[in-house]
Amino acid sequence: MRKDWRRLFAGAAFAAALAVGAGTPLPTAAASSAAAATKTGAAGQTPAAPVFVARPSFAAELPAAVNERAAAEVRFVVADPLGEPIVAEEAPPESVPVLGAAEASEEQMAAFIRRRNPQPKLACSVEEIVRLYYEEAGAEGVRADIALCQALKETGFFGYGGDVLPGQNNYCGLGATGNKVKGAHFPTPREGVRAHIQHLMAYATTRRPAAPLVDPRYDLVRIYRPDIYGKIAHWTGLNGVWAVPGTSYGQDILLLFREATSPDASDASLAFAEKKLRARADAAAYVYRAIVHGKRGEHEKAAADLDKALTLSPKNAAALYDRALLFAAQGDEERAQHDLEALVKAHPDFAYGWYNLGVQNLRAGRNAAAVRDFERVLALVPQSANAQSNIGVALVREKRYEEAWRAFARCRRDQHDESDGADESGRLRRLPAGAGRRIGHASRRIGKWYG
């Protein structure tokens, strides 16, 4: 069963309770643990081992009255909070140029790709595709690390799933304009990478590529788009140009770069954190080192660094969010709640904060507050199936069954419409409101930070 079973089971449990109460058939399966529980409530018998309902379907409206006694017997599984820390923003996205030297190492980028997709659909190895980007982009003066992140966004970490096929060696959607138009084909991975870099150059500089031209659309930009040819100096300038509407396209790419260079538990990461602090002892550097300490199990050091970051910058979104994760991991729900509330007050479009606050309120039985929190998530990220599912759980607890049914129906619809490459953390990622920006897809991995 896929990893979204928890949110599906929540809806299935409610559907089963309805079926038992109303004498109607289950939506898609014959039995479930919820059905067993509700039958026990009606007949007073002890059930055997539970059987799970998979993938319920929902009509648009509640088809029958709910047996409240049966519904009360259902034990819902609440979708987990997000658990991966975030680094503080060090430079505004609008200031990051397309041209320049790479900062991330090839090893970092290869490890990032493998973490996110252990089986990429490539005609070469992961290490080779990374090397090709560093060679081709480096030769032309384009940021190789961020250009590679653009390819990861365009291809779903080389998982594809859209109009472009893996065999095209088209890593940036060149010529893929939608409506099943597959776009350009390139005979080798190197030519596909070169075409990508050359197309970036068409936007970022009037200097002709040094390598032989293989981008079929380079001259189209040069001749027919004088308004953008050589005029897009920064990644965020690609918004609404490379992708339409693409209002956060450049920010999406930069967030992937942030994730690729995120700290880990290695000695190299700790050394890099210390280097950052020596260069500039600001809140961002302390947050970075705190994450390293947390991943190394050095919780007291992590807490001290986050406290220092918040002393320097009391409304720092990353520091508030990460310290809330630390408190929650240590079982200090009160202080975690305090930091999450401070976070969403200071940064009201920070979807991660609203989501984790909602999970905490739901688990504490504060159902109305949880509904409010998840509705804020959905206002920012309408396709968040976990938020929809958790709203359904809260509404069932409040006996608002018709609204709960509609929430589960929306959850099922959104889950059905998502590609296999999508996941909750990717759907929720947003930059702080203080920065005035939103970021789309990011981290597929929801992991434990501390402990």
Reported as a single tens digit per residue, the pLDDT across 136-156 is: 999 999 999 999 999 999 999
Per residue in 191-236, pLDDT (tens digit) is 999 999 999 999 999 999 999 999 999 999 999 999 999 999 999 9
Report the first-to-last Cα separation within the chain, whole angstroms.
27
Q: What pLDDT does 56 receive?
A: 59
Per residue in 338-381, pLDDT (tens digit) is 999 999 999 998 999 999 999 999 999 999 999 999 999 999 88
Q: Which residues of 185-215 are buried (b: 16+ CB within 10 A; e: fewer)?
A: bbeebbbbbbbbbbbbbbbbbeeebeeeebb
31-40, 146-155, 270-279 — which one is most confidently predicted on average? 146-155
Residue 267 has pLDDT above 90, yes or no: no
Residue 160 has pLDDT above 50, yes or no: yes
| 313 backbone dihedrals φ, ψ, rounded to 5° | -145, 85
What does 130-195 look like in DSSP terms, one character per residue?
HHHHHHHHHHHTB-HHHHHHHHHHHHTTTT--SSS-GGG--SS-TT--BTTB-----SSHHHHHHH
Residue of higher predicted confidence among 41 and 129: 129
Closest CA to 432 of 347, 373, 312: 347
Report the pLDDT averaged over residues 159-173: 92
| 99 backbone dihedrals φ, ψ, rounded to 5° | -90, 145
Q: Considering the entire predicted model, what is its pTM?
A: 0.62
pLDDT band of 176, cuts 50, 70, 90: confident
Share of the chain above pLDDT 70, in %: 78
**Poorest-confidence range of 44-48, 147-151, 417-421?**
417-421
Q: What pLDDT does 155 receive?
A: 94
Residue of higher predicted confidence among 243 and 278: 278
Residues 415 and 418: their CA atoms lie apart, in Å, by 5
Report the pLDDT averaged over residues 376-404: 89
Residue 320 has pLDDT above 80, yes or no: yes
6-20, 55-69, 206-220 — which one is most confidently predicted on average? 206-220
Closest CA to 349 of 450, 434, 427: 434
Report the pLDDT averaged over residues 107-122: 92
Average pLDDT, the chain: 81
Report the pLDDT averaged over residues 133-137: 98
Report the pLDDT averaged over residues 181-195: 95
Report the pLDDT averaged over residues 90-95: 87
Helices 33-43 + 5-22 axis angle, to 10 = 30
pLDDT band of 421, cuts 50, 70, 90: very low
Q: What pLDDT does 12 receive?
A: 53
Residue 185 has pLDDT above 90, yes or no: yes
**Poorest-confidence range of 24-38, 126-140, 290-304, 410-424?**
24-38
CA distances from residue 388 to 11, 70, 392, 407, 415 in whole angstroms, order as listed: 10, 22, 6, 6, 10
Taking the C-alpha atoms of 327, 331, 335 and 336 in order, what is their torsion angle to the nearest 10 degrees? 60
Token pair of 127 as six digits? 């290490």
Residue 430 has pLDDT above 70, yes or no: no
pLDDT band of 11, cuts 50, 70, 90: low
| Sheet strands (E) in 221-284 | none
pLDDT band of 238, cuts 50, 70, 90: very high
Residue 36 has pLDDT above 60, yes or no: no
CA distances from residue 144 to 55, 101, 121, 212, 418 in whole angstroms, order as listed: 42, 7, 20, 18, 30
